[in-house]
Amino acid sequence: GYAYMTDILNTHVTNNVTGTDSVGGLVGYGDSVSLKDSYYSGVVTGANQVGGIVGRCLNTNALTRVNALGSISATGSDIGGLIGYAAGNTTIKYCFSKNNITGVSNIGGLIGRNRATI
């Protein structure tokens, strides 16, 4: 769901996640979140702002050694292997995405739509 000013460490999620907007394997909507040494393996399904790890990132977010595996299926825009939509300051270090991704527009292997300083 929604994570605010939170550290998420050593997390491994393998369940399928389904929603509408701001849907992610670990976090749907991240605001000032630090994710480290974590991964998601499963199917993420949604409409807009859908990501393998985070659906929507705002403000300052950091992903370190975070990996997304599986597939992402969306019916809208801003679909990314790690992050669907990023804005603000986002740091990505030592991360990878190995997903099958389907969507309509703004689709990327790491970030679907980027308005952040990476």
The pLDDT value recorded for residue 5 is 96
Phi-psi sector, 106: left (phi>0), alpha (psi -120 to 50), beta: left
Average pLDDT over residues 26-38: 96
Q: Which of 63, 70, 61 is nearest to 94 (CA)?
A: 63
Q: Per the confidence metrics, is the pTM higher than 0.75?
A: yes
The pLDDT value recorded for residue 101 is 96
